[in-house]
Amino acid sequence: MKIYADHAATTKISEAAAAAMLYHMNETYGNPSSLHTEGQRAAEVLADARGRIARLLGAEPREIIFTSGGSEADNQAILSAARLGERQGRKHIVSTAFEHHAVLHTLQALEKQGFEVTLLDVHENGLITPEEVAAAIRPDTCLVTVMFANNEIGTVQPIAEIGEVCRARGVLFHTDAVQAAGHLPIDVIAQNVDLLSLSAHKFHGPRGVGVLYAKKNIPLTSLIEGGAQERGRRAGTENLPAIVGMAVALEEACTDLAGKRERLTALRDRLIRGLSAIPHSVLNGDPVRRLPGNVHFCFEGIEGESLLLLLDDRGIAASSGSACTSGSLDPSHVLLAIGRPHEIAHGSLRLTLSDDNTEEEVDYLIAAVTDVVAYLRSISPVWRELVSGKQKFILN
Amino acid sequence: MALYSEKVMDHFRNPRNVGAMENADGVGQVGNAKCGDIMKIYLKIEEDVITDVKFETFGCGSAIASSSMATELIKGKPIGEAMELTNRAVAEALDGLPPHKMHCSVLAEEAIKAAIKDYYDRRGIGYDTAQFHDCASCGHCCGKH
C-alpha cells in the first residue's frame, strides 16, 4: 500500500488545476503588461483569477498580491509593516515562539536593524490567547504576526479574537495562513486581518505561487524591483498559469469546506485514537483546536529519522521534527517551544492527511507505526534503560 | 531514498549483530539522547579475540547502519585490530555517509573503543589512556547540551 500522509509539506496537484494551467500555458501566452490583444487577453485572465481568489478570502481584488509563495508573502508582510512602523518611530513586533522560519528569520533580521521582538510562549497545548497578545502590545508596537495554524503540530489560533485586539490597539495584524488556506474558513474582514500569507501548493495547487493579502491603504515595501506589476508592489512578469492553477485549486478546496473538514476530522481522530494506544507516547498540540488533517506524536525511546525510513519502506510518506531530518543539531523549534525535551522531540512523527485518504489507510498507518515504534524500541539502548527502571520515563 | 547508499539502507533495514548480550566481557555506550543518538556495544572476548559482538542503537538510519557495519568489521578480530578501526573505515565500508552524518561513524568507533576500555578495566589490564580519547574528534554535540 502507498500512503501519502505528508500533506502539510506539499499536496498533489488537483486535476482541474493542472488542466487549467496546461491550457493557459498553451493558449494565454501573452504578457499581461502588453498592449496587444494577446497581452490584454492574459491581463483579463489574471484579473479574473485575482477576483476569484479575493472573493474566497473576503477581500477586494486590489488587496491581492501574487508572490512566489508563502515565504515571500511572509517576508513582504513583515518588512512592510516594519518599514511603516519605523517611519512612525514604532519598532516593536509581537509574534510567537513557534512561527515558521519565514517569519522567525525575518524577525531576526529586523532585530539586527534595531527592532525589538516579543515572542509569546505558546504553552504545552500550542495555543496563545488574545489576552496574552493584548498584554504584549506596547505603544511602540507596529505589528503582531501570529500564524493561523501551525505547520508542525497543527494548532489553530483564535485569529479573529487576536485580530480584534490588534484593531482596538491600532496595531497591524499579519497571519501566516499557509497551513489554513483551503482547509479552514478565511474571511479577512470578519477575522480582523490586515495582512495574510498563503501558498498554493498546500491546497492542491501548484508550487512557486502564493498570495499576500494586504488591506487597502497599507503601503507595501517591494522586495523585487523592476516593473509595475502588482501595482508596483511586486515586479516581474506574472506567473499566469500558476496563478490560474492556484485560483482553481482554492475554489475547489473551499467548495464544501465544512463537509470536507468533518470527514477529515473523523479520520484524524481515528488516527489519533489508534496511535494513543502506543505506550509512552504523546499527542502534540491541542486535541480539538487543530487542523482537520494534522496528527503529531512523540514516542519515547526512539529517533524520528529511522522511524520515517522504515515507514517509507512500508509505502508511507510522513515527516518528523527530529534533528536528523532537519540537518541541524537541534530538534524542531516548535516541539521545543511547547516544552518537549530534546530526547522526546527527537522521536516525533507528523502525519498529515487530506480528503483523499481513507479509513483503510488510517488503519494501515496505525498498524505500521505501532509495529515500527515497537521494533525501534527493541533495538534502542534508551528504551532498555527505561523499561529496566534505570532511567525514568518522561512520557507516561 | 537517495540520501543513503544502498549499503547503508541494507544495514539499516537488516542490522547485523543487533540486540543485547548476557554476560558480556566489555560494554561501551556513547552518545547522548539529547543529541538524538546513543550507541551501545557488547563484546565477548576470548584470548584477546572478539568472538562475539552485539549492538543497540537509538538514532537515525545512518547511526543504526554504522553500528551494524562496525560490529561486522570487528567480529572475530583480535582486540588490537578492533582498536585500529577508524570511523572513516566504517563510513567507507558503507559506501560513504552524507557529510552531516559522519558523526554516526565516529560514534561507532568510539562505542567499540569504550567497550574495549571497559573490558580492560574489568580485567585490570593496563593500557595507554591516550588510546581512548573521549568523544573528541566528532564535534557533533559534545558540550552543546
**What is the C-alpha end-to-end distance of chain B, expressed in Å?**
31
Largest CA distance in chain A: 78
pLDDT, tens only, B54-94: 999 999 999 999 999 999 999 999 999 999 999 999 999 99
Q: Which residue of B has its CA nearest to A341?
A: B34
Q: pLDDT value at position B82?
A: 96
A316 chain-B contacts, CB cut-off 8 A:
none
Tell me what the mean pLDDT of segment A365-384 comes to. Answer: 97
Residue B145 forms part of a structural domain: no
Choice between A158 and A327, residue whose per-residue pLDDT is larger = A158
Q: pLDDT value at position A326?
A: 61
Residue B25 forms part of a structural domain: yes
pLDDT, tens only, A179-188: 999 999 999 9
Full-model pTM: 0.94
pLDDT exceeds 60 at position B143:
no
Q: Please, which pLDDT band fits residue A106 given cuts at 50, 70 and 90? A: very high
pLDDT exceeds 50 at position A9:
yes
Which among B9, B58, B61 has CB closest to A382?
A: B58
- Give the Cα separation of A14 and A33 in Å (integer): 29
Q: pLDDT value at position B144?
A: 40
**Could you tell me what percent of chain A has a pLDDT over 70?**
98
Q: Please, which pLDDT band fits residue A289 given cuts at 50, 70 and 90? A: very high
Q: pLDDT value at position A108?
A: 98
- Give the Cα separation of A390 and B46 in Å (integer): 29
What fold is seen in the domain A15-254?
Aspartate Aminotransferase; domain 2 (3.40.640)
* Cell of residue A17, nine digits: 488545476
Q: pLDDT value at position B70?
A: 97
pLDDT, tens only, A245-274: 999 999 999 999 999 999 999 999 999 999
On average, the pLDDT of chain A sits at 96
Q: pLDDT value at position A247?
A: 98
Which among A313, A341, A379 has CB closest to B15?
A: A379
Do A379 and B56 lie within an 8 Å CB cutoff? Answer: yes
Alpha helices in chain A (DSSP H): 15-27, 37-57, 70-87, 101-112, 130-136, 159-169, 229-232, 240-254, 257-276, 304-313, 323-326, 333-337, 342-345, 359-378, 381-387
Tell me what the mean pLDDT of segment A52-75 comes to. Answer: 98
Query: Is the Cβ–Cβ distance between A5 and A352 less than 8 Å?
Result: yes
Tell me what the mean pLDDT of segment A32-39 comes to. Answer: 96
Residue B60 forms part of a structural domain: yes
pLDDT exceeds 70 at position A73:
yes
Q: pLDDT value at position B35?
A: 84
Q: pLDDT value at position B137?
A: 47
Q: What are phi and psi of A279, to 5 degrees?
A: -65, 150
pLDDT exceeds 70 at position A101:
yes
Q: pLDDT value at position A138?
A: 98
pLDDT, tens only, A214-231: 999 999 999 999 999 999
Residue type, B115: A
The number of C-alpha atoms within 13 Å of A107 and in the hemisphere containing its C-beta is 23
Q: Which residue of A has its CA nearest to B68?
A: A379
B140 chain-A contacts, CB cut-off 8 A:
329
On average, the pLDDT of chain B sits at 90
Query: Is the Cβ–Cβ distance between A38 and A272 less than 8 Å?
Result: no
pLDDT, tens only, B14-44: 999 999 999 999 999 999 888 889 999 999 9
Residue B138 forms part of a structural domain: no
Q: pLDDT value at position B141?
A: 52
Instruction: Identify which of A306, A374, A371, A326 has the alpha carbon closest to the alpha carbon of residue B4.
Output: A306
* Residues of A carrying an active site annotation: 324
What fold is seen in the domain A256-387?
Aspartate Aminotransferase, domain 1 (3.90.1150)
Domain ranges of chain A: 15-254, 256-387
- The reply to whether A324 touches chain B by the CB within 8 Å rule is yes
Domain coverage including residue B14: 6-126
Angle at A237 between CA A234 and CA A240, to 5 degrees: 105
Which CATH number goes with the domain that contains B15? 3.90.1010.10
Q: pLDDT value at position B139?
A: 52
Do B34 and A302 lie within an 8 Å CB cutoff? Answer: no
Strand A116-120 versus strand A172-176 pairing type: unpaired
ipTM: 0.92
Question: For chain B, how many structural domains are there in total?
Answer: 1
- Give the Cα separation of A98 and A145 in Å (integer): 11
- The reply to whether A302 touches chain B by the CB within 8 Å rule is yes
- Give the Cα separation of B56 and A301 in Å (integer): 12
Residue B133 forms part of a structural domain: no
Buried b (16+ CB within 10 A) or exposed e, A186-224: bebeebbbbbbbbbbbbbbbbbebbbbbbbeebebebbe
Region of residue A92 (phi > 0: left; psi between -120 and 50: alpha; otherwise: beta): beta
Q: pLDDT value at position A329?
A: 67
**Distance from the B39 Cα atom to the nearest Cα atom in chain A, whole angstroms:** 7
